[in-house]
C-alpha cells in the first residue's frame, strides 16, 4: 500500500512537472542584427541556448527585419501564450511599451533599455564602469603614453563606452593621450573590419600602443591590426582574448548572456521580477576578462590596481561619469 501511494505520488509529481514544462513557453525577439551577429544578439542567443541545453525546454524566436515587425511579433508571441518574452535591444522599447500594456499578465524583459511598466523587467548595463577598468589597464600598460578607442556607429551608447574608458585612462595618468574615432554614422559601422583595421593602424602610426574597440564585428579588424603591428588591443562585450592570443590585453565584458539566461531561469522558477535591473561591477554584469590568453600581459601590479579601482567604484569612492546622463563627457 505504501509503495502504491508513493508510486502514485511519484507519477503525480512527474506529470505535474511535465505539465510545468509544457506550460513554460519562453520566447525571444532578436533585433535587426540577427542572432548570429558575433556580438550583442549572439551573446543573448548563447545564454538562451545554455538554458535550453540545461532544461531541455525549447523557446520560440524571431529575428526582426522590418521596423514594424517588432510590435507585430511581440504581440503575436504574447497572443500565442509565450511567457516570458525577451525583447533584445533598445530599438524595441517603443514597440514593447505598446504590447506590454495590451498583455498585462505576460512577463516581458527588455535588454539594454528601460521600459517602465508593471509587467516589464528592464535590464541595463553600466558599460562606463567596465570601460573605466579597461582604461585603467590600458594606461598602466601603455609605454608610449598614447592609447586609442575605436567605436562603432556614432551613437550615445558608444560614447558611453568611450567616456568611461577615457576616465579610466586619465585616472591613472592624466597626461595620457587618447585618440578617439567612430567607425561611421550608419549601421554598417558595426560590421566593417577593414575600416576598423585601418583606423587602428592610423592610431598605432601616431604612437598609440593599445586600442580599445567597441564596435561590433568592426572590432575584429582592430584586434587583427594590433596583432599584425605588434601592438595591443582591448576586446568588448564577450571575452575576445582568445581571438588574438598575446595581443589582446583584455576584454570589457558585458554579460548579456547571463542576463538573458537569468530571465528564462527566473521565469521558470517564478522568481522573475518586474522593474529595473542595473548590472554594473557590483552585480558582475560588466567586468574585465583575465584568462590564459592574456595572463602574461597583466602584471600583478596592474591586477591589484584594477581590483582596488573596482572596489572603489562599487563602494562609490570612485565616481564614473555616465555619458548618457547628460550627453557630455568631462574628459576628452
Partner 1 sequence: MNERQANTLVVTLVTIANLFIAFLISGIVIWVLGEDPWFALKTMLYGAFGYDEGLGYTLYYSTNFIFTGLAFAIGFNCGLFNIGAEGQAYIGGLGVGLICLWLENWPLWLVFPLAVLVSIIFGGVWGAIPGYFKAKRGSHEVVTTIMFNFIASVIMVNLLSHVLRPPKEMSPESREFGERVWIPQMHEIFDWFGLEITQTPLNGTFIFALVCLLLVWRFIWYTRWGYELRTVGINETAAAYAGISVSKNIIIAMVIGGGLAGFVGINEIMGSSHRLMLNFQAGIGFTGIAVSLIGRNHPLGIFLAALLFGILYQGGAELSFELQTIDRHMVVLIQGLVILFAGALENLFRPQIEQLVKRISSEDS
Binding site for partner 1 (CB under 8 A): 34, 60-63, 65-69, 71-73, 76, 90-91, 93-94, 112-113, 153-157, 185-187, 324-327
Closest CA to 260 of 33, 25, 37, 43: 43
Place of cell 558575433: 38
Quick one: 17 or 327, whose CB is closer to partner 1? 327
Number of Cα atoms under 13 Å in the Cβ half of residue 69:
10
Query: Using the 8-state DSSP alphabet, how is residue 320 labeled?
Result: -
Place of cell 594590433: 226
Sign of CA dihedral 237, 240, 241, 244: negative
Quick one: 98 or 242, whose CB is closer to partner 1? 98
Distance CA 48, CA 88 (A): 12
Q: In angstroms, give the least distance from the CB of 225 to partner 1.
A: 24
* Grid cell digits, residue 131: 570601460
Quick one: 2 or 53, whose CB is closer to partner 1? 53
Quick one: 173 or 327, whose CB is closer to partner 1? 327
Sign of CA dihedral 225, 229, 230, 233: negative
Closest CA to 257 of 85, 47, 54, 87: 47
Instruction: Please list, in sequence order, all residues whose beta carbon lies within 8 angstroms of the beta carbon of residue 320, skipping any fewer than 6 positions away.
Output: 126, 128, 129, 132, 164, 167, 168, 313
Quick one: 96 or 211, whose CB is closer to partner 1? 96
Q: In angstroms, give the least distance from the CB of 325 to partner 1.
A: 7
Q: In angstroms, give the least distance from the CB of 45 to partner 1.
A: 12
Quick one: 91 or 312, whose CB is closer to partner 1? 91
CA end-to-end span of the chain? 78
* Grid cell digits, residue 296: 602574461
Q: In angstroms, give the least distance from the CB of 155 to partner 1.
A: 5
Q: In angstroms, give the least distance from the CB of 210 to partner 1.
A: 27
Q: In angstroms, give the least distance from the CB of 88 to partner 1.
A: 14
Amino acid at each position: 500500500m505504501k509503495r502504491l501511494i508513493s508510486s502514485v505520488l511519484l507519477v503525480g509529481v512527474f506529470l505535474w512537472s511535465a505539465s510545468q514544462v509544457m506550460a513554460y513557453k519562453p520566447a525571444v525577439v532578436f533585433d535587426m542584427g540577427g542572432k548570429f551577429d558575433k556580438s550583442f544578439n549572439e551573446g543573448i542567443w548563447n545564454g538562451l541556448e545554455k538554458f535550453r541545453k540545461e532544461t531541455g525546454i525549447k523557446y520560440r524566436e524571431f529575428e526582426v527585419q522590418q521596423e514594424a515587425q517588432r510590435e507585430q511579433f511581440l504581440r503575436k508571441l504574447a497572443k500565442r501564450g509565450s511567457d516570458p518574452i525577451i525583447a533584445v535591444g533598445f530599438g524595441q522599447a517603443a514597440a514593447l511599451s505598446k504590447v506590454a500594456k495590451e498583455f498585462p499578465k505576460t512577463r516581458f524583459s527588455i535588454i539594454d533599455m528601460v521600459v517602465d511598466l508593471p509587467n516589464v523587467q528592464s535590464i541595463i548595463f553600466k558599460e562606463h564602469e567596465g570601460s573605466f577598468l579597461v582604461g585603467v589597464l590600458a594606461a598602466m600598460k601603455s609605454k608610449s603614453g598614447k592609447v586609442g578607442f575605436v567605436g562603432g556607429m556614432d551613437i550615445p551608447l558608444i560614447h558611453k563606452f568611450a567616456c568611461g574608458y577615457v576616465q579610466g585612462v586619465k585616472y591613472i595618468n592624466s597626461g595620457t593621450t587618447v585618440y578617439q574615432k567612430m567607425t561611421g554614422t550608419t549601421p554598417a559601422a558595426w560590421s566593417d573590419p577593414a575600416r576598423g583595421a585601418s583606423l587602428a593602424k592610423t592610431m598605432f602610426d601616431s604612437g598609440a600602443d593599445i586600442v580599445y574597440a567597441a564596435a561590433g564585428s568592426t572590432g575584429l579588424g582592430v584586434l587583427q591590426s594590433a596583432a599584425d603591428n605588434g601592438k595591443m588591443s582591448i576586446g568588448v562585450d564577450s571575452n575576445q582574448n582568445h581571438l588574438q592570443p598575446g595581443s589582446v590585453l583584455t576584454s570589457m565584458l558585458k554579460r548579456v548572456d547571463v542576463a538573458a539566461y537569468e530571465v528564462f531561469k527566473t521565469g521558470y522558477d517564478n522568481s522573475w521580477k518586474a522593474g529595473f535591473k542595473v548590472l554594473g561591477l557590483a552585480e558582475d554584469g560588466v567586468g574585465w576578462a583575465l584568462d590564459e590568453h592574456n595572463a602574461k600581459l597583466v602584471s600583478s601590479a596592474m591586477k591589484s590596481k584594477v581590483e582596488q579601482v573596482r572596489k572603489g567604484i562599487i563602494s562609490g569612492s570612485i565616481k564614473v561619469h555616465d555619458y548618457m546622463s547628460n550627453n557630455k563627457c568631462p574628459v576628452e
